[in-house]
Amino acid sequence: MPESKTFETSAAAFASGAGQALTSVYVVVLIGTYIGLGALAHDVGLSSTWMMASTVIVWAGPAQLIIISAIGTGGSLIEVALAVTLSAMRLFPMVVALLPMMRRPGSRLPEMLLPTHFTSISMWIESLRLLPHVGREHRLAFCNGLSSGYMATAVVAGYVGYYLAAGLPPLLASILLFLTPLSFFLSTVNNARQVVEKIALVLGLALGPLLAYWQVELDLLWTGVIGGSIAYAFGRYRRRTS
């Protein structure tokens, strides 16, 4: 797949999605990331059961990193909940972009709740690439299979990383945790087709380090607001003058 593919049953579509997950490059990224997260969870005194359960319930590596780091530094429950909520907000645009591609005539709200929870960076990128080649009646099952494959990989990798913690150097664990943002960045570069998207990407790369160097509070937020606003304004100006 990327060629068009048809399925006889939803179960076949689910199995195909899981197979796509287990053979994609993002499964390598997930393995590295969750080995690092598992090692970190071990170092702060959390259990392997907690690590696996949090992967299924939270299903967001950055959010899990926030939870583990906050627990390790003695953060309060309210602080952890607020930080995780703010981190999860970045997934909202992905959900909004993806659900219309999965929805079929007669879809009910309960059917859409699971893929909403399943939405992650790796699943979102691969779904945008693969779903146009899947019949609409089987897209929901395909996406659920795709995410299940990724999630199962992450659970196992986190468990392995937990018990590798004693022999995993801290620098290597940090490098492994960096794989997810690096893969997302490279995918964004590869998928930036329009001029506005390229401008937003360049502005983000320029503004982020500058604001961090100037020690501006909420530098990442301001990078998105300023860079995104400039790119949006340029896009509107270009449409008006074309």
- pLDDT of residue 205 exceeding 70, the answer is yes
pTM here? Answer: 0.75
Could you tell me the two tokens for 92? 């909202």
* pLDDT on residue 158: 92
The pLDDT tens digits for 140-199 are 999 999 999 999 999 999 999 898 876 767 777 677 767 766 666 766 666 666 888 888
User: Which residue in the block uniquely carries the two structure tokens 């490059």?
Assistant: 25
Q: State the DSSP string of 201-214.
A: HHHHHHHHHHHHHT
The pLDDT tens digits for 12-67 are 999 999 999 999 988 888 888 898 888 888 888 899 999 999 999 999 888 898 88
User: What is the mean predicted confidence (pLDDT) over 212-216?
Assistant: 87
Q: Burial of 240 by CB count in 10 Å (0-12 exposed, 13-18 middle, 19+ buried)?
A: exposed
Domain residue spans of the chain: 10-181, 193-241
Closest by Cα among 150, 156, 158 to 36? 158
* pLDDT on residue 19: 95
Amino acid at 101: M
Q: Burial of 83 by CB count in 10 Å (0-12 exposed, 13-18 middle, 19+ buried)?
A: middle
- Are 77 and 64 spatial neighbours (Cβ–Cβ below 8 Å)? no
Could you tell me the two tokens for 79? 């602080």
